[in-house]
């Protein structure tokens, strides 16, 4: 297996998936091509603490941030549509224990 052949085969898989309307498979093939080409840097962040330690406002802000950051990878969801949905969300009320 060579790099060029690997990239070419993934491209064919992507094209075939696109022709069949299998957009998720096509996206996965394209991401695999990007990873093989070194376009993605995977990183893991280990954090201590719990979501329970956040205030309702901090948790809501964090959730909005995560949705905003990762919304482009959600299949069939436009970033602006998701942002509008998040803006319309009711504030999360702090649960009383």
Q: Give the global pTM.
A: 0.39
Q: Three-state SS across 28-85? A: HHHHHHHHHCCCCCCCCCCCCCCHHHCCHHHHHHHHHHHHHHHHHHCCCCCHHHHHHH
Residue-wise pLDDT tens digits, 6-33: 888 888 888 998 999 998 998 888 888 8
Confidence of residue 97 (pLDDT cuts 50, 70, 90): very low
Least reliable range by pLDDT among 18-22, 41-45, 54-58, 76-80:
76-80
Residue 45 or residue 94, greater confidence: 45
């Amino acid at each position: 297996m060579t790099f060029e052949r690997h990239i070419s085969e993934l491209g064919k898989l992507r094209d075939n998936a696109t022709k069949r309307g299998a957009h998720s498979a096509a996206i996965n093939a394209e991401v695999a091509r990007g990873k093989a080409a070194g376009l993605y840097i995977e990183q893991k962040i280990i954090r201590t603490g719990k979501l329970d330690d956040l205030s309702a406002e901090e948790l809501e802000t964090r959730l909005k941030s995560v949705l905003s950051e990762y919304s482009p990878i959600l299949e069939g969801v436009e970033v602006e549509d998701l942002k509008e949905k998040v803006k319309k969300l009711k504030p999360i009320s702090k649960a009383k224990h």
